[in-house]
């Protein structure tokens, strides 16, 4: 989500202030491309010369997402630790922001309202 300056943000934290993106461990990578083709945020490009993925848009990586690393059969993709994210959540008071968002966006997230509308 972009903030008021048009810059990507995660819970109102400018994305360039968050060190979260994949690192490809080249000597483990077999060049299958699964990470490239399964990333919905276009974080990767593919170097057809070396047959390896390249992280070309690190700020597009969803903070906390590790889908590409989970899918990698060679454990060739690494991310910062989960502890880094937890520390960021505490330090930047993300939980307070999330609670506020849940309240202001209640109609979007409320399962009882959805069930009520789906029954009509």
**60 belongs to a structural domain:** yes
Is there a domain that residue 33 lies in? yes
Residue 58's domain spans which residues?
Answer: 9-118
pLDDT at residue 113 in the model: 73
* pTM listed for this prediction: 0.81
pLDDT at 38 over 60: yes
Question: Measuring CA to CA, which residue among 22, 30, 117 is closest to residue 79?
Answer: 22
* Burial of 18: CB neighbours in 10 Å, binned 0-12, 13-18, 19+: buried
pLDDT above 80: residue 18: yes
Asked if the structure places residue 104 within a domain, the reply is yes
Burial class (CB in 10 A: 0-12, 13-18, 19+), 48: exposed
How far apart, in whole angstroms, are the C-alpha atoms of residue 93 and residue 73? Answer: 35
Mean pLDDT for 37-51 is: 97
Backbone angles phi, psi at 97, to 5 degrees: -65, -40
In terms of Cα–Cα distance, which of 7, 36, 15, 2 is closest to 88? 15
Using 50, 70 and 90 to split pLDDT, how confident is the model at 7? Answer: low
Structurally, the chain folds into a number of domains equal to 1
Within-domain flag for 2: no
- CATH number of 51's domain: 3.30.70.20
- Per-residue pLDDT of 64-119, as tens digits, reads 999 999 999 999 999 999 999 999 999 999 999 999 999 999 989 898 877 766 76
φ/ψ (deg, to 5) at 9 = -145, 155
């Amino acid at each position: 989500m972009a903030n008021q300056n048009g810059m990507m943000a995660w819970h109102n934290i400018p994305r360039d202030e968050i060190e979260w993106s994949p690192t490809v461990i080249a000597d483990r990578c077999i060049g299958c491309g699964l990470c490239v083709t399964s990333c919905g945020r276009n974080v990767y490009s593919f170097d057809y010369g070396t047959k390896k993925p390249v992280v070309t848009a690190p700020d597009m990586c969803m903070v906390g997402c590790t889908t590409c690393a989970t899918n990698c059969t060679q454990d060739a993709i690494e991310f910062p630790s989960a502890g880094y994210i937890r520390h960021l959540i505490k330090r930047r008071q993300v939980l307070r922001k999330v609670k506020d968002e849940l309240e202001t966006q209640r109609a979007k997230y409320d399962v009882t309202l959805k069930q009520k509308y789906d029954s009509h």
